[in-house]
Amino acid sequence: MTSPTTQPAAKPQLLLSIRQVVKSFGKLAVLRAISLHVDEGEFLTVLGESGSGKTTLLRLIAGFERADSGEIWMAGERLDLLPPYRRRVNTVFQSYALFPHLSVRDNVAYGLRMQKKIAPADIDKRVENALAMVKMSALAASKPAKISGGQQQRVALARALVNRPRLLLLDEPLSALDANLRRQMQLELKSLQREVGISFVFVTHDQEEAMVMSDRIALLRNGNLEQVATPREIYSRPATSYTALLIGHTNLLRCHVERGVARCGGFQFRTSVPDGPAVFSVRPEHIRLASTTLSASGDSVHFRARIVAQSFHGATDLLQVECADGLKLSVSVPSHGALNGQRDFEFSAADAFAVRDSEERP
């Protein structure tokens, strides 16, 4: 289910389809039967912690690794049987992998010069355009060692995009940049992707980055896809407790449901979840300080808790609170000075979202 605002007008065309791909290194299973698709013009982020198999998945698409089983198709063509240099896929490497002996301009021209059909004049024009697109024209004659990390990142991007690939793969391209530059590049990359209309598969371990940039997020965990959904959906409707904890902050309530009522310590609220144990995710921003003027409606859950810690986050304050039974929760409230002592809190039962328990925590 996607919200109407993110739904494009025309039905998106399927570009890449990964079918039941399995990959292991020796005895270590890295990917266990992954199936995933990428649409034309889509920005798909593969999110996962280190060791989740995200880079291996990217390397399989690029052709640097061979899958043990399964198939990869792109635009009606079997991709996984082609060597990397025959695939209309380009990669932006984590460490950029710019050729140190070539100038910025020659790095960008490299891919075009490998194709026999392009006239030298056309190559020059396309290279200049690509350099202008990433604002690197002034440094075209420099060697990669002479330019900064952010500039190398732009060159790597231009070097890949100048070939007009069907699909661009990006392996944590922003991880080497400092925080400010990183945020700026996230936005630039996203608008660039809209501009060129090429499908991006972006690998990262940074959930914030994934949320900001992606059309869809594929969350990978221990070689399995935990959830594939739009950022909004994955945030508001996490499938598992792992997803809920990884994507943004959350509170997990381990409840027992009996006849439509969930109970957890001092809490109880109505739910449609079937009877038995259940885990609910309640986002910190969905819990608020209870106001006396607001009448306690039927689906509102009230509780009293002691404020243990308070941290300032600009527009909001994050509170760590402890209930009488020892349950600790995070609460996000609009900033208004120091809070302490016992306070009344409330959240709407509708904001307690049932998730599948994944046992392990991120």
Partner 1 sequence: MFSRAYKTAVTVPPLLWVTVFLLVPYALLFCYSFWTVSPAQTIVHHWNLGNYRELLQVHVYFQTLLRSMWIAARVMLLALLLGYPLAYYVSFHAGARKDLLYQLVIIPLWVSYLVRAYAWKTILGSDGVLNTLLQYVHLTRHPVEFLLYSPFAVVLTLTHIYTPFAFLPIYASLEHIPRNLVEASHDLGASPLQTFWRVILPLSTPGVLAGATFAFVLSLGDFLAPLLLGGPSGIMISNIVVSLFGAAYNWPLGAAISLCMLLLVISLLFLSERLEKKWSFS
- The binding site for partner 1 (CB under 8 A) comprises 62-64, 83-86, 89-91, 93, 95, 97-101, 110-111, 114-115, 143, 145, 159-160, 163
Report yes or no: 67 and 60 within 8 Å, Cβ to Cβ: yes
**76-109 as b/e, with b when 16 or more CB fall inside 10 Å?**
eeebbeeeeeebebbbbbbebebeeeebbbbbbb
Closer Cβ to partner 1, 115 or 295, answer by number: 115
DSSP state of 304: E
DSSP designation for 110: H
Helix (H, G, I), strand (E, B) or coil at 209: helix
As measured in angstroms, the least distance from the Cβ of 28 to partner 1 is 17
- Cα-based angle 234, 45, 163 (whole degrees, multiple of 5): 155
Q: How far is the CB of 144 from partner 1 (least distance, A)?
A: 9
Say which residue the tokens 């925590």 belong to.
361
Spell out the alpha helix ranges (H) of 134-255.
Answer: 149-161, 179-196, 207-213, 231-236, 241-246
Pair 86, 62: CB distance under 8 Å: no
Return the number of the residue (162 or 290) whose C-beta is nearest partner 1: 162
Nearer to partner 1 by Cβ, of 25 and 99: the residue is 99
Task: Decide: 230 and 216 in contact? Cβ < 8 Å.
Answer: yes
**183: Cα separation from own chain's centroid:** 14
Token pair in block for residue 158: 């231009």
Quote the least distance from Cβ 85 to partner 1, whole Å. Answer: 5
Q: Which CB, 116 or 336, lies closer to partner 1?
A: 116
C-alpha to C-alpha distance for 78 and 88, rounded to whole angstroms: 12
Name the residue among 170, 160, 155 with its Cα closest to residue 103. 155
Using DSSP's 3-state secondary structure scheme, residue 218 falls into strand
Partners of residue 348 on adjacent β-strands: 300
Kindly give the residue spans of alpha helices, DSSP state H, lying in the chain.
Answer: 54-62, 104-114, 120-133, 149-161, 179-196, 207-213, 231-236, 241-246
Question: How many whole angstroms separate alpha carbon 296 and alpha carbon 91?
Answer: 55
CB of 173 to partner 1, least distance (A): 13
